[in-house]
Amino acid sequence: MKLQDQLNRTIHLKETPKRIISLVPSQTELLCDLGLKSTLVGVTKFCVHPHDIKKDVAVVGGTKQIDLEKIKSLSPDIILCNKEENTKEIVVACELICNVHISDVYTIEDSSELIKQYGDIFDRNKEAEEIIKKIDIEVEDFKVFVRDKPILKTAYFIWKKPYMVVGSNTFINYLLKLNKFENVYEVSERYPKVNLDKNHISKTVEVVLLSSEPFPFKEKHKNVFQENYPYAKIILADGEMFSWYGSRLLKAFGYFKQLRLNLHNNQL
C-alpha cells in the first residue's frame, strides 16, 4: 500500500500498522476516537486525552524531545508526527526506525484530510467519515450562530517571558477568524513576541484571550493585561479548543458558542 502524508511524502506500507506511536496530543485523541487505542504503544507526556492514556501506554518523551531508545524498544510500525509540533531532527531520527507520517494542519479542511488519511492508513474509513461528517455539521451550525455577531479586535496570548501571541499562518488564527475575532497581530507570522509596555495598538483591543497552553495562564495573570489593554475583556481561554484539530473539533464549537454568549452577557 502506497500513501502520502500532508507534506506529500510517500509512505509504503506492507500491511495495516498494528503498533503506533503518536508524538502529537491531538492526534493521540483522534486515534482513540477512531477506535485505535489498543494499537497505541507510545505517546508523549502531553497526551492527556483520553485521561487514562498514559497509564495504559508507554510515554516516550515530549513533542520536542524524545527517548529514541525507548521508541526503538517498542518496535513501532509507524510514528505519527506534525510539522509544527515536532522538530525536523525528531522526524529524521524516527525515519531510521520505521515509517513516519507528518501532518500539516492550518484549516478545517486540512484537519478533515488528516482524519481521512488515518482512516486509509489504519483501516478505519467508516469511523473517519463519521467524524468528518459530524465536524462539518458543527462548523455549519456555528457559522449560522456567529453570522450576526460583531467582529471583535482580539489578541491571543500563548506564552509569558517573553510574551508571545498568535499571528498569521496558524490553525489558531484560522479558528479566531471563524469566531469573528479579528486578530490584531495577524500582520506578523506564526508566534511573534510582543512588548506589553510598548504596544501601540493596545487601546484598540476589545478581547484578550489568555490560552491554557502551552503556557498555563491563570486568573492571577489577568491584572497585568488589564493594565496594558484597558478597554479589553481579559478571558482565560481553553487552548485545546483553539489549537487541537482532529476529533477535538467535535467539542470546540459548542465551547465557542458559550464563549460568545458569556461575552455578550458579561459573564467573563
Pairing of strands 78-82, 20-22: parallel
pLDDT in tens, 103-153: 999 999 999 999 999 999 999 999 999 999 999 999 999 999 999 999 999
C-alpha count within 13 angstroms, C-beta hemisphere, residue 254: 6
Q: Is the pLDDT of residue 7 over 60?
A: yes
Residue 31 lies in a domain: yes
Structural domain total, the chain: 2
pLDDT digits (tens, 9 = 90+) for 227-268: 999 999 999 999 999 999 999 999 999 999 999 999 977 755
Cell match 525528531: residue? Answer: 90
Domain with residue 31: its CATH number is: 3.40.50.1980
Domain match, 31 and 132 both: yes
Q: Do 73 and 9 share a domain, yes or no? A: yes
Q: What residues contact residue 106 under an 8 Å CB cut-off, 6+ apart? A: 169, 170, 171, 174
Asked whether residue 67 falls in the same domain as residue 11, the answer is yes
Residues 88 and 202 in one domain: no
What pLDDT does 249 receive?
Answer: 98
Instruction: For residue 231, tell me if it sits in a domain.
Output: yes
Per-residue model confidence as pLDDT tens digits over 145-191: 999 999 999 999 999 999 999 999 999 999 999 999 999 999 999 99
Say if residue 198's pLDDT is above 70: no
Q: Which domain holds residue 23?
A: 2-138
Residue 89's SS3 state is helix
Q: Which three cell numbers stand for residue 226?
A: 488589564
Whether residue 59 sits in one domain with residue 26:
yes
